[in-house]
A and B are shown apart, each in its own frame.
Chain A
Amino acid sequence: MYERLIKYWMEGPIIVMVWQGPNAVLVARKLRGQTIPALADAGSLLAQFSFDSSPLSASLNRVVKTFIHASGSVDEAKREIKYWFGETKFKDYEREVDNLYLI
């Protein structure tokens, strides 16, 4: 399982990014949808762009191609950001829209 997962992640370059906002983890998970694309709710990223499923992936001897990872909890996010970005100092900048829902 682990080896197949590693193989999948190394099929090509990946894009790693960090998002910030109120309830960012919850919002990101919601937009991504349930892990198995075939079971994900319509409107979620996984449902919109894939129909992969466990039976299909098993028959092809590979992992389910879930194409987007999103941290599952705030703690997980902290750990993963540190893992991928190390001590990177993140850009501190403001957008006019940031305060739209915060004041």
Chain B
Amino acid sequence: MQKQKALLIIKPDGVQRGIIGKIIARFETVGLKIIGLKFEMTTSDKIIAHYPETEAWFKKVGERTLTNYAKKGLDAKIVFKTDDAISIGKIVKGWLIKYFQESPVFMVVVEGYDCIEIVRKLSGNTIPVLAAPGTVRGDLSHDTIDLANEQNRPLRNIIHASDTPEDGEKEVNLWFTKEELFSYKLAGEKFMYSI
């Protein structure tokens, strides 16, 4: 089995509420290894590069937003002045760029077997109100799509966690240099993996 890397970003709402340590501790105690850490005021360029700048991504986000609006019987045109999925995706990305720059963000690279699956599980559903108890988003936030829409802002969901092993590699390389990542052994590894 191959080890995977995942990028975690404690977003400004997590930083503002003083729960950075509490969140990181959850990933540490499950046995993942922290191999990189930094606290940074990000730039628009970095955030633009972080979220895929592709039609497919804009469309996916736009369509998800339209579906959420339709479910609630709300008119997307009132907020976005358009009902074109790609245009809406671009507006949402603009919100995200602003959100990520509300304060410094705390970035962590974790490594482990099935790391991606584990960070997704521990982070919970990306919509905090739907996230299960025991997950970061379920325990530490209750934001909803309705509220975010009403306030014309993105969901504030505390943490970003890489979605796939490929995203993990890509995101880690975007935010960290080779010199900022460490290779070392944890005391517990021998007992976790019998190696």
Contacts and interface: CB of A to CB of B under 8 A. Distances in A.
B18 A12 contact: no
B174 interface: no
Interface stretch (A22-30, A69-77, A91-99): A91-99
A77 B40 CA distance: 22
Contact of B18 (A15, A17, A93, A97): A97
A95 B18 CA distance: 9
Interface string B74-111: 00000000000000000000000000000110000000
Nearest to B183: A13
Contacts of B41: 91, 93
Contacts of A13: 182, 184
Interface in B167-187: 182, 184-185
A94 B182 CA distance: 31
Interface in A54-103: 91, 93, 95-97
A26 to B, nearest CB: 19
B14 to A, nearest CB: 11
Given A13-B184, A91-B104, 15 more contacts: A12-B182, A12-B184, A13-B182, A15-B37, A91-B40, A91-B41, A91-B103, A93-B41, A93-B103, A93-B104, A95-B15, A95-B16, A95-B103, A96-B16, A97-B18
Interface of A: 12-13, 15, 17, 91, 93, 95-97
